[in-house]
Amino acid sequence: MKALCVLASGEGTNLQAILDACASGELRARVALVGSDRPGARALERAAAARVPTVVSRPKDHASREAHDAVFVEAAAAHGAEVVVLAGYMRLVTRTLLDAFPDRVVNVHPALLPAFPGTDGLGDALAHGATIAGTTVHLVDAGVDTGPILAQAAVPIVDGDTKATLAARVRPLEHALLLRALGWLVEGRVTVTREEGRRPRVRVEGVAARGVLALDA
């Protein structure tokens, strides 16, 4: 059973979905550590309620981003974590973290990448007049939401949608998709193929289609 380190900056709803899935056996993994860059993050309270160890690394306490990430790397190693999940973690990670967990750092992003990377995927989709929004689970690289895509799910944008109403419909898909992709990863079914001159691609053993399109408004 693989051990997870989950990094979160805010409410921790994705963390809670992971904790619940681990407890029920839906996800054959355990959360070994929860980390945050914000001491007051609700995610830390959720971790404490589940009796999961926590660590906080505030960027302002370190001379560099690499030194900040090194705190998480050291703590994750001490707790035996094998996969790092960025679940609402609002900072770019460095090679310090990525090199410690090659192809084992996962992010969930509220947009259909490569469209609308960055901190406000749903707001950007609305601002651009998009007709479809959604969520992407991807492996993390050194870019901004540019890593190999594991899976995606979509919902239509309807008349009168606000960021809040759209987020309320996307969030359940986000949780479900993250758990599905994590399941593939902890089961050892994910292979990343790299060819010169091409972007890395993901193959999941036994899964032909990794996209999920939800048509309900």
- 177 token code pair: 């998709």
What integer best gives the mean pLDDT of the chain? 92
Q: What is the pLDDT of residue 216?
A: 44
Q: What is the pLDDT of residue 106?
A: 96
CATH classification at residue 170: 3.40.50.170
Among 56, 75, 102, identify where a domain stops.
102
Question: What integer is the mean pLDDT of 44-59?
Answer: 96
- Residue 18 pLDDT more than 80? yes
- Residue 137 pLDDT more than 80? yes
- Residue 215 pLDDT more than 80? no
Tell whether 125 and 206 lie within a shared domain.
yes
Instruction: Return the closest-CA partner of residue 8 out of 60, 57, 62.
Output: 57
pLDDT class of 69 with cuts at 50, 70, 90: very high
Tell whether 98 and 121 lie within a shared domain.
no
Q: What is the pLDDT of residue 10?
A: 92
Instruction: Annotate 28-39 with three-state secondary structure.
Output: CEEEEEEEECCC
pLDDT class of 213 with cuts at 50, 70, 90: low
- What residue numbers bound the domain in which 114 lies? 109-217
Tell whether 155 and 78 lie within a shared domain.
no
Instruction: Give me the number of domains the chain comprises.
Output: 2
Question: What integer is the mean pLDDT of 35-49?
Answer: 96
Question: What integer is the mean pLDDT of 203-210?
Answer: 82
> Active-site residue numbers?
109
Whether the CB-CB separation of 194 and 134 falls below 8 Å is answered with: no
Tell whether 216 and 190 lie within a shared domain.
yes
- Residue 188 pLDDT more than 60? yes
Alpha helix (H) residue ranges in the chain: 13-24, 42-49, 65-78, 95-100, 121-127, 163-186
Helices then strands (H, E): number in the chain? 6, 10
Helix (H, G, I), strand (E, B) or coil at 3: strand
Q: What is the pLDDT of residue 217?
A: 34
Q: What is the pLDDT of residue 212?
A: 60
Q: Give the best-scoring range by mean pLDDT among 28-32, 88-92, 145-149, 200-204.
A: 28-32
Tell whether 122 and 203 lie within a shared domain.
yes
Give dist(CA 206, CA 93) in Å, integer: 31
Beta strands 105-109; 132-139: pairing state: antiparallel
